[in-house]
């Protein structure tokens, strides 16, 4: 089923991308374009599978690579070259691209994809989508001999209403069916609808015919490629060398980006672990072979791969089988393919391109123009970079946009470079939260603490630094970390690529069965006042902003959807609370977070080690039961102390006052079974901290008078209690020394 549905997903795209590649040559070259695209679609996935590429990737021609080939052909024609020479130069460029891709894989440059900023990548994708639309609109409007600019200049008279109706219905069918059917590609539905309407109109209502795809003879796949038949003279190579060189560079870069990013996306879906260098090596070899055979270059295709996997693919044989099934399907359906109207295929191309336009970027542009975001500076930089790449592509061509994007990436990298973004990384076998837990739970956390990891970030998290973060996080997850905490207290700024990195980390943690938490991230609480224009609200608070700078890290993550994706429950104002949250989740997963009941809590407490139930009952009359509601202070810092407390249920927070301010800092959280305030029984000194109930709590209180009475009546029991108390002091001191040692690293 995976192979069958994968083949169905290939069908409309193979036709579409072939038509894109030869669009500068006119409709009479449609069959040639589809043939070289079909050959690539059949062989690419089979060969990649045989060579050990990603098991779930269906590879082949894509819109981006087809556009670059079309640009190369168009450039050759504009220089006065004949069609065969222009095609040969384009395929020489594809050969150069394969060699470059192979060299990048051998040189282990697969991870270098992370150095391309997300706005630049988005610009490539959106530029490709717009170029597909521009090239497809003349055919969709029934005027293939005219350019889009000429159609606009001529006006409505240049448009064929019947052609526009067929292509328009195909577009509507695709957009309306997108996401409604998990196993049937929306592009196929649109193609069927457009074709059905066309033949119904021409056959039943005698509407005029239009251009057809034509018969695709699969036997042509084994013929000598046109590029080898034609050849290139030394003079052409000397004067036109820039066409294959720039084409090769563009195809190599775009296929590498597309392959590595698609493989990473499939890894998140399937739980596989791709070696990007191997993917580049394998696909470089195959792309070189495709150029020699006269087929379109290609790369991994996410939509086709997703359809195949969702249909039940379990091994690489499903992906490889999709190529074989596609070949058999074309053998049977060749007469039907020949009757596909080019108007319907043009509509399919336009709809597919519209779906490829990045909606997040459009949302950012809308927010800036409508002033619906309070801090437009957060989004303006990314949108500007994307817009520059798109404008370059539309003004010149996609090859120029690739060159400009590379230059822009280098410039941004120079400005964005800084220190290693990782200040420190550790797991929590030795360093625990300040929550006091039972001895059994602490033993468990020391044994399983490697499942909780903390990465402290610093400086700027720009695209150039994201690779280091992803690499370190992956090492920790591979080593068994399930709960990953990013401490952003020392992070000064983050760009959209950094935000995308956090999205990927979130998915990686979910894949590992855990979660991603962000600590020390303060939200931007200032909002515009109701009824005030954004600029008025900004001017009104300008003085406050000068004193208290906006929290740009939170704003950038929020603008890029990271805050909503991770969830408010996984964002903490301090790392200690985040570690405590993860400890609770881990203990719960291990079945050790349940409450034992009052008797169980007392019996399990280290304070009563060595005492029988009868002896504990003899101590009971010297303690008083006391209830505290959430927010109640048990005692305050510097207050005179005369009693100790044993927490039976609920929670208490230990807070200290920060001198010179009204703020307090939390030192630790006390849970059931904790003893606190005991120093007052030993030295009678003032309280060293505040104790406040964070939730409804019940305590046993022992006053100094009760302590002295216990000493007089049961000195033997008091001796055991003091021995246990000294052991607790020693344990706390040891833990404190360990934490200080860890924190100083």
The predicted-structure confidence for 204-239, as pLDDT tens digits, reads as follows: 988 999 988 888 777 888 887 887 788 888 999 999
Task: Identify the pLDDT of residue 525.
Answer: 61
Q: Is pLDDT of 581 > 70? A: yes
Task: Identify the pLDDT of residue 738.
Answer: 58
More confident residue, 65 or 436: 65
Contact between residue 45 and residue 319 where contact means Cβ atoms under 8 Å apart? yes
**Residue range(s) in the chain whose domain bears CATH number 2.60.120.10:** 598-743
Task: Identify the pLDDT of residue 741.
Answer: 57
Q: How confident is the model at residue 595 (pLDDT cuts 50, 70, 90)?
A: low
Q: How confident is the model at residue 247 (pLDDT cuts 50, 70, 90)?
A: very high
Rounded to the nearest integer, the mean pLDDT of the chain is 84
Task: Identify the pLDDT of residue 617.
Answer: 87
- As a whole number, mean pLDDT of residues 19-44 equals 90
Task: Identify the pLDDT of residue 377.
Answer: 75
Task: Identify the pLDDT of residue 332.
Answer: 84
Q: How confident is the model at residue 379 (pLDDT cuts 50, 70, 90)?
A: confident
Task: Identify the pLDDT of residue 293.
Answer: 92
Q: Is pLDDT of 492 > 90? A: no
Rounded-to-integer distance, Cα 71 and Cα 96, Å: 16
Each residue's pLDDT tens digit, 523-548: 766 544 344 444 444 444 443 443 34
**Residue range(s) in the chain whose domain bears CATH number 3.30.750.24:** 422-589
Treating both helix axes as pointing N-terminal to C-terminal, what angle do 63-78 and 398-416 enclose, rounded to 10 degrees? 120
Instruction: Name the helix (H) or strand (E) containing 663.
Output: none
What percentage of the chain has pLDDT greater than the value 70?
91
More confident residue, 645 or 375: 645
Contact between residue 132 and residue 352 where contact means Cβ atoms under 8 Å apart? yes
Q: Is pLDDT of 28 > 50? A: yes
CATH for 598-743, options being 2.60.120.10, 3.40.50.720, 3.30.2350.10, 2.170.190.11? 2.60.120.10
Task: Identify the pLDDT of residue 333.
Answer: 80
Minimum mean pLDDT range among 161-170, 245-254, 407-416: 407-416
- As a whole number, mean pLDDT of residues 618-629 equals 90
Task: Identify the pLDDT of residue 288.
Answer: 96
Q: What size, in residues, is the chain?
A: 745
Count of CB atoms within 10 A of residue 567's CB?
Answer: 12
Task: Identify the pLDDT of residue 225.
Answer: 85
Each residue's pLDDT tens digit, 13-23: 888 889 889 98
Burial of residue 398 (number of CB atoms within 10 Å: 0-12, 13-18, 19+)? buried
What percentage of the chain has pLDDT greater than the value 90?
29
Each residue's pLDDT tens digit, 629-676: 999 999 999 898 889 898 888 888 888 888 877 778 877 778 787 888
Rounded-to-integer distance, Cα 173 and Cα 348, Å: 9
Task: Identify the pLDDT of residue 113.
Answer: 64
Minimum mean pLDDT range among 377-381, 504-508, 518-522, 581-585: 377-381
- As a whole number, mean pLDDT of residues 592-597 equals 62
Q: Is pLDDT of 745 > 60? A: no
297 half-sphere exposure, CB direction, 13 A CA radius:
37
Task: Identify the pLDDT of residue 534.
Answer: 42
Each residue's pLDDT tens digit, 501-525: 898 899 889 888 889 999 988 776 6
Distant-in-sequence, close-in-space partners of 640: CB < 8 Å, separation ≥ 6: 686, 687
Q: How confident is the model at residue 440 (pLDDT cuts 50, 70, 90)?
A: confident
Q: Which long-range contacts (CB under 8 A, 24 or more apart) does 76-85 make?
A: 76/240, 76/243, 77/24, 77/25, 79/240, 81/236, 81/240, 83/25, 83/29, 84/226, 84/229, 84/230, 85/230, 85/232, 85/236
Task: Identify the pLDDT of residue 736.
Answer: 59
- As a whole number, mean pLDDT of residues 89-100 equals 95
Rounded-to-integer distance, Cα 250 and Cα 400, Å: 9
Task: Identify the pLDDT of residue 732.
Answer: 66
Minimum mean pLDDT range among 240-249, 357-366, 469-478, 669-678: 669-678
Minimum mean pLDDT range among 71-85, 110-124, 331-345: 110-124
Distant-in-sequence, close-in-space partners of 73: CB < 8 Å, separation ≥ 6: 21, 22, 24, 25, 83, 86, 87, 90
Q: Is pLDDT of 684 > 90? A: no
Each residue's pLDDT tens digit, 160-213: 999 999 999 999 999 999 878 766 778 889 989 999 999 999 999 889 999 888
Task: Identify the pLDDT of residue 416.
Answer: 58
Treating both helix axes as pointing N-terminal to C-terminal, what angle do 276-293 and 30-50 enclose, rounded to 10 degrees? 140
Task: Identify the pLDDT of residue 212.
Answer: 87
More confident residue, 273 or 241: 241
- Looking at the domain 422-589, which fold is it? Transcription Regulator spoIIAA (3.30.750)
Task: Identify the pLDDT of residue 530.
Answer: 40
Q: Is pLDDT of 590 > 60? A: yes
- As a whole number, mean pLDDT of residues 395-407 equals 81
More confident residue, 169 or 337: 169
């Amino acid at each position: 089923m995976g192979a069958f549905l994968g083949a169905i997903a290939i069908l409309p795209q193979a036709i579409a991308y072939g038509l894109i590649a030869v669009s500068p040559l006119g409709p009479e070259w449609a069959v040639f374009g589809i043939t070289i695209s079909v050959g690539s679609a059949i062989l690419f996935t089979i060969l990649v599978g045989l060579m050990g590429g990603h098991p779930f990737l269906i590879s082949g021609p894509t819109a981006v690579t087809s556009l670059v080939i079309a640009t190369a052909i168009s450039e050759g024609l504009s220089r006065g070259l004949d069609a065969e020479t222009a095609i040969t130069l384009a395929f020489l460029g594809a050969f150069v691209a394969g060699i470059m891709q192979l060299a990048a894989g051998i040189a282990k440059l697969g991870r270098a994809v992370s150095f391309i900023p997300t706005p630049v990548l988005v610009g490539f994708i959106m530029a490709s989508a717009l170029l597909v639309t521009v090239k497809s609109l003349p055919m969709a409007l029934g005027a293939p001999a005219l350019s889009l600019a000429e159609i606009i200049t001529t006006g409505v008279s240049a448009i064929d209403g019947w052609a526009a109706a067929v292509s328009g219905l195909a577009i509507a069918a695709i957009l309306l069916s997108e996401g409604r059917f998990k196993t049937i590609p929306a592009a196929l539905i649109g193609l069927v609808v457009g074709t059905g309407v066309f033949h119904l109109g021409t056959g039943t209502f005698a509407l005029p015919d239009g251009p057809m795809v034509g018969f695709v003879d699969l036997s042509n796949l084994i013929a000598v490629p046109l590029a080898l038949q034609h050849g290139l003279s030394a003079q052409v190579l000397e004067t036109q060398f820039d066409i294959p060189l720039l084409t090769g560079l563009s195809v190599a870069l775009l296929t590498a980006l597309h392959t590595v990013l698609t493989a990473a996306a499939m890894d998140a879906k399937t739980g596989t672990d791709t070696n990007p260098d191997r993917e580049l090596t394998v696909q470089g070899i195959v792309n070189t072979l495709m150029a020699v055979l006269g087929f379109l270059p290609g790369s991994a295709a996410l939509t086709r791969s997703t359809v195949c996997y969702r249909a039940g693919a379990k091994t690489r044989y499903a992906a490889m089988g999709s190529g074989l099934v596609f070949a058999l399907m074309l053998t049977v359906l060749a007469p039907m393919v020949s009757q596909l109207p080019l108007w319907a295929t043009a509509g399919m191309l336009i709809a597919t391109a519209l779906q490829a336009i990045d909606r997040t970027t459009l949302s950012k542009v809308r927010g800036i123009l409508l002033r619906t975001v309070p801090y437009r500076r957060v989004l303006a930089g990314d949108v500007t970079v994307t817009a520059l790449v798109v404008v370059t592509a539309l003004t010149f061509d996609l090859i120029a946009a690739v060159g400009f994007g590379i230059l822009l990436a280098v410039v941004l990298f120079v400005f964005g470079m800084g220190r290693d973004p990782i200040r420190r990384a550790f797991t929590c076998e030795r360093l625990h939260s300040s929550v006091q837990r039972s001895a059994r739970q602490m033993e468990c956390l020391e044994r399983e603490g490697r499942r909780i990891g903390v990465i402290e970030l610093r400086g700027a998290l720009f695209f150039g630094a994201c690779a280091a973060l992803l690499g370190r996080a992956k090492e920790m997850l591979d080593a068994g970390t399930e709960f990953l905490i990013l401490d952003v207290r020392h992070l000064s700024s983050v760009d959209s690529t950094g935000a995308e990195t956090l999205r990927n980390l979130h998915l990686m943690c979910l894949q590992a069965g855990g979660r991603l938490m962000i600590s020390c991230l303060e939200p931007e609480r200032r909002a515009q006042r109701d009824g005030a224009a954004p600029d008025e609200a900004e001017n009104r608070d300008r003085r406050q902003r000068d004193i208290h700078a906006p929290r740009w890290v939170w704003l950038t993550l929020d603008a890029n959807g990271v805050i909503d994706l991770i969830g408010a429950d996984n964002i903490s104002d301090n790392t200690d609370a985040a570690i405590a949250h993860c400890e609770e989740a881990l203990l719960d997963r291990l079945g050790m977070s349940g409450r034992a009941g009052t008797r169980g809590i007392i019996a399990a407490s280290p304070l009563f080690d060595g005492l029988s139930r009868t002896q504990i009952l003899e101590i009971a009359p010297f303690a008083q039961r006391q209830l505290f509601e959430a927010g109640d202070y048990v005692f305050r810092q510097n207050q005179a102390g005369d009693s100790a407390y044993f927490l039976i249920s609920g929670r208490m927070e230990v807070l200290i006052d920060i001198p010179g301010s009204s703020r307090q800092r939390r030192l630790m959280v006390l849970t059931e079974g904790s003893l606190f305030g005991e120093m007052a029984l030993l030295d009678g000194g003032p309280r060293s901290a505040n104790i406040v109930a964070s939730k409804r709590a019940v305590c046993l209180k022992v006053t100094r008078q009760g302590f002295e009475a216990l000493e007089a009546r049961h000195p033997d029991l008091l001796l055991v209690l003091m021995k246990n108390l000294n052991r607790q002091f020693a344990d706390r001191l040891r833990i404190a020394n360990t934490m200080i040692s860890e924190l100083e690293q």
